[in-house]
C-alpha cells in the first residue's frame, strides 16, 4: 500500500528552498534592531529599538513613503479601469487579432524591467515630457494593468454568459447588468488584482529609476542609502516596512483567489 505523502527528499528540498529564499529577509529584520550602525557583524553586538525612533523622525523617509503610496494608489486605480476593460473585451467578444492584443497587454510584465524603463524614458524624451510624479505613475501602470488583466480575464471566462443574457432578457440595461450581475462575480478577482498591483508598484525600483527623474520613492531611497550609507539600521527598518506593506496585499490576494477554480456564480 503506497503512502499518499510526499517523499522525504522532496519535503527536505522544499524546506531548503524556502529557507534559501527567506533567511536573508529575516536577517534584515534582525539587523533593524542592532546597536551597531556601521557593519553587518554576526551575531549582532546588541539589540535596540532606538532605530525605529530615528526612522520615525527622518523627514526624507516620510517623503519617500508618501510618494510611493500615492504612486501605488493611482497606478492601481488606472490598472483596475484599463485592465478590467481589456479583460471584458478579450473574454466577451470575438474579433480579428484578439490573441495578439492579449499578448501585447501581458508583454510589459514579461519583459525585463530595464527594457520597459529604457523604452519609457526614450518615449518621454521624444515627447519632451518632463519627469514628474505622473511619469512614475505611467511607468508603474504599464505592468500593474497586466496583473489586473490576468485576474479579471480568468474570472470573466469562468462567468457563465447565460447570466448576462438572462439579466438583459429580464429588462436590465447594460449598467444594471454590470452592477448586479457581472461585478459581484468578478469583484474578488478585481480586489485581488488591485492588491497585487499595489504591492508591485510600491516596491518597484527598476522602472522607477528611469522614470522618476530627481524624485525618490521608498525603494529608490533605499537604493541610494545602500550606495552612500549614513545609518545602516535605518535602511533595514525601512526595508522591513517595505516587506510588510508588500506582503500583506499579496497574502490578501492569495486568500481572495484560492478555491476559485469553479465557474463564478455557481455555488459561490
Fold of 55-257: MetI-like fold (1.10.3720)
What's the CA gap between 175 and 190, in Å, rounded?
18
> Is there a contact between 195 and 249 (Cβ–Cβ < 8 Å)?
yes
Contact 217, 136 (CB under 8 A): yes
pLDDT at position 263, please?
Answer: 35
pLDDT at residue 41 in the model = 63
Integer Rg of the chain from CA:
23
pLDDT at 74: 92
Threshold 0.85, pTM exceeds: no
SS3 226: helix
In sequence order, the 6+-apart residues with CB closer than 8 A to the CB of 117 are 139, 206, 207, 208, 209, 210, 211
Question: In this predicted structure, what is the pLDDT of residue 7?
Answer: 79
Q: What is the pLDDT of residue 142?
A: 86
Task: Please tell me the predicted confidence (pLDDT) of residue 268.
Answer: 33
pLDDT score recorded for residue 261: 47
The rounded distance, in Å, linking the Cα atoms of 63 and 135 is: 18
How far is 118 from 139, CA to CA, in rounded Å?
11
Walk along the chain (268 residues) and give the pLDDT tens digit of each residue. 455 567 777 878 888 888 888 777 777 777 777 766 666 667 767 677 777 887 788 888 888 888 888 999 999 999 888 888 888 777 766 766 667 777 777 777 777 888 888 888 888 888 888 888 888 888 888 888 888 888 888 777 776 666 766 776 666 666 677 777 777 777 777 888 888 888 888 888 888 888 887 888 888 888 877 776 666 777 788 888 888 877 777 777 777 666 554 333 333 3
CB atoms within 10 A of CB 204: 25
Amino acid at each position: 500500500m503506497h503512502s499518499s505523502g510526499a517523499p522525504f527528499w522532496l519535503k527536505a528540498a522544499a524546506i531548503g528552498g524556502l529557507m534559501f529564499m527567506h533567511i536573508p529577509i529575516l536577517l534584515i529584520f534582525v539587523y533593524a534592531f542592532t546597536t551597531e550602525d556601521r557593519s553587518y557583524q554576526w551575531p549582532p553586538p546588541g539589540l535596540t529599538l532606538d532605530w525605529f525612533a530615528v526612522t520615525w523622525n527622518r523627514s526624507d523617509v516620510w517623503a519617500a513613503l508618501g510618494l510611493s503610496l500615492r504612486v501605488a494608489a493611482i497606478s492601481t486605480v488606472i490598472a483596475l479601469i484599463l485592465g478590467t476593460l481589456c479583460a471584458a473585451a478579450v473574454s466577451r467578444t470575438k474579433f480579428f487579432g484578439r490573441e495578439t492584443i492579449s499578448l501585447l497587454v501581458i508583454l510589459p510584465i514579461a519583459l525585463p524591467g530595464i527594457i520597459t524603463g529604457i523604452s519609457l524614458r526614450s518615449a518621454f524624451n521624444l515627447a519632451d515630457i518632463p519627469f514628474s510624479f505622473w511619469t512614475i505613475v505611467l511607468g508603474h501602470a504599464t505592468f500593474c494593468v497586466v496583473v489586473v488583466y490576468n485576474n479579471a480575464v480568468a474570472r470573466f471566462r469562468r462567468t457563465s454568459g447565460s447570466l448576462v443574457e438572462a439579466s438583459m432578457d429580464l429588462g436590465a440595461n447594460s449598467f444594471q447588468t454590470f452592477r448586479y450581475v457581472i461585478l459581484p462575480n468578478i469583484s474578488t478577482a478585481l480586489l485581488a488584482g488591485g492588491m497585487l498591483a499595489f504591492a508591485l508598484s510600491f516596491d518597484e525600483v527598476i522602472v522607477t529609476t528611469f522614470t522618476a527623474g530627481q524624485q525618490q520613492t521608498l525603494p529608490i531611497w533605499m537604493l541610494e542609502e545602500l550606495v552612500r550609507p549614513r545609518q545602516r539600521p535605518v535602511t533595514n527598518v525601512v526595508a522591513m516596512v517595505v516587506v510588510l506593506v508588500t506582503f500583506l496585499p499579496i497574502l490578501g490576494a492569495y486568500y481572495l483567489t484560492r478555491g476559485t477554480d469553479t465557474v463564478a456564480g455557481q455555488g459561490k
